[in-house]
């Protein structure tokens, strides 16, 4: 049964993308503070969170690999969206002219797979993709990835599996760690070992470093594949 492993990168939209009423709503907590540095700091803090919400951000990259063959694609937004003449390899880097093209490319691949694996996909990646696709009227070819939480088919979310569905809360034995921490604990090369993290995606996109974002996203997916193999060999079936 073919298994697709994927990860997304997102980037917040500029505040001026929203009308006056939307900005008032988004920055309401900042407006409660006195004028000055404290208010401006709060506005920056809120704007920094835009990348987490599908109504205030866009998908800028989706990397995906076949868990068995380790072949796949990394779709990314780029101003120069002509096909690059790079040497062939297991991962094809495909620049896209806009988010619609990127999402359409992803859903075309996704429909061919029986199963999908993510890290925190139930809490972030999948609902983000569903909502962005709906906003842009992009057909969703797999609408079954947020079904029964306690099943690993068709969607295995490793963040759920490694916390045993949050069995011990925020601070117990099975508390949730980030992908970087799990990788280091299990002896997997961390995707952050090259000096890039998800916090850097927005600035990198603004600097025109989209290809580097695409490469970072692939490293995330490769690490997720390795973590999935360990989970499948050592922990799958634990109840």
pLDDT at 194: 77
Q: Which domain holds residue 108?
A: 3-10+59-234
pLDDT at 195: 77
Rounded to 5°, the CA angle 174-172-230 comes to 15
In sequence order, the 6+-apart residues with CB closer than 8 A to the CB of 129 are 8, 59, 62, 103, 106, 140
Residue 229 falls inside a structural domain: yes
CA distance 70 to 65: 5
CA distance 137 to 135: 6
pLDDT tens by residue, 45-55: 999 999 999 99
CATH number of residue 95's parent domain? 3.30.420.10
pLDDT tens by residue, 5-25: 999 999 999 999 999 999 999
Residue 18 falls inside a structural domain: no
Q: How many domains does the chain have?
A: 1
CA distance 220 to 231: 16
Residue 43 falls inside a structural domain: no
Residue 133 falls inside a structural domain: yes
pTM score: 0.94
Contact predicate 150/167, CB 8 Å: no
CA distance 94 to 212: 13
Question: Dihedral (C-alpha) 100, 106, 112, 113: value to the nearest 10 degrees?
Answer: -140
CA distance 208 to 34: 36
Confidence label for 35 from pLDDT (cuts 50, 70 and 90): confident
Q: Which two tokens stand for residue 187?
A: 């002896």
pLDDT tens by residue, 178-187: 999 999 999 9
Least confident span in 7-16, 25-34, 73-82, 159-168: 73-82
Is pLDDT at 71 greater than 90 in this prediction? yes
pLDDT tens by residue, 133-149: 999 999 999 999 999 99
Q: Tell me the pairing of strands 115-118 and 91-96.
A: unpaired
Query: Between 85 and 74, whose confidence is greater?
Result: 74
Helix axes 126-135, 99-110, angle to 10 degrees: 120
- Closest-CA residue to 198 (of 109, 145, 128, 137): 128
pLDDT at 209: 93
Percent of the chain at pLDDT above 90? 85
Q: Tell me the pairing of strands 115-118 and 3-12.
A: parallel
């Amino acid at each position: 049964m073919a298994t697709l492993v994927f990860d997304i990168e997102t980037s917040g939209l500029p505040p001026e993308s929203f009308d006056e009423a939307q900005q008032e709503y988004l920055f309401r907590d900042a407006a409660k503070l006195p004028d000055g540095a404290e208010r401006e700091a709060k506005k920056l803090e809120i704007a920094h969170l835009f990348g987490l919400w599908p109504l205030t951000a866009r998908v800028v990259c989706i990397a995906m690999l076949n868990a068995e063959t380790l072949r796949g694609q990394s779709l990314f937004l780029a101003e120069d969206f002509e096909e690059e003449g790079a040497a062939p390899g297991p991962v094809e880097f495909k620049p896209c002219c806009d988010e619609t093209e990127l999402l359409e490319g992803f859903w075309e691949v996704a429909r061919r797979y029986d199963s999908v694996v993510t890290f925190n996909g139930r809490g972030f990646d999948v609902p983000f993709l569903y909502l962005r696709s709906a906003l842009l009227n992009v057909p969703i070819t797999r609408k079954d990835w947020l079904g029964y939480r306690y099943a690993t088919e068709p969607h295995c979310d490793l963040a759920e599996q490694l916390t045993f569905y949050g069995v011990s809360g925020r601070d117990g034995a099975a508390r949730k760690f980030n992908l970087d921490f799990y990788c280091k604990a299990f002896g997997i090369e961390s995707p952050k070992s090259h000096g890039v993290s998800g916090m850097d995606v927005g600035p990198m996109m603004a600097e025109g470093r989209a290809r580097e974002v695409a490469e970072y996203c692939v490293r995330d997916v490769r690490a997720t594949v390795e973590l999935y193999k360990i989970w499948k060999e050592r922990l799958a079936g634990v109840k």
